[in-house]
């Protein structure tokens, strides 16, 4: 998922300190608010997001551009696709 593709992050969702299912619920609401093709960054501290966010993207057809652990934080870059 970490690739050399260049893109611009248009929005950030801070889910720090939130536990399942809150990060994915917030992601669902936030992704509705952005336009197709825009990239959303999600920053979370709940390890379950490593399972839940990729499944969310797969199920709803969004492109997961980055999934990365940095210290105690999990970073995701998601491109909204048509849907």
Structure tokens at 71: 């210290």
Active site residue 81: no
Q: Indicate which residue of 10, 11, 20, 52 is catalytic.
A: 20
Is 48:74 a contact under the CB 8 Å cutoff? Answer: no
The residues assigned a catalytic role are 20
């Amino acid at each position: 998922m970490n690739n050399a593709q260049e893109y611009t992050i248009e929005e950030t969702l801070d889910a720090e300190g939130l536990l399942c299912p809150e990060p994915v619920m917030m992601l669902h609401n936030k992704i509705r608010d952005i336009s197709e093709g825009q990239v959303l960054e999600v920053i979370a501290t709940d390890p379950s997001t490593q399972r839940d966010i990729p499944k969310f993207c797969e199920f709803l057809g969004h492109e997961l551009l980055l999934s990365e652990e940095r210290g105690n934080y999990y970073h995701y870059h998601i491109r909204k696709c048509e849907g």
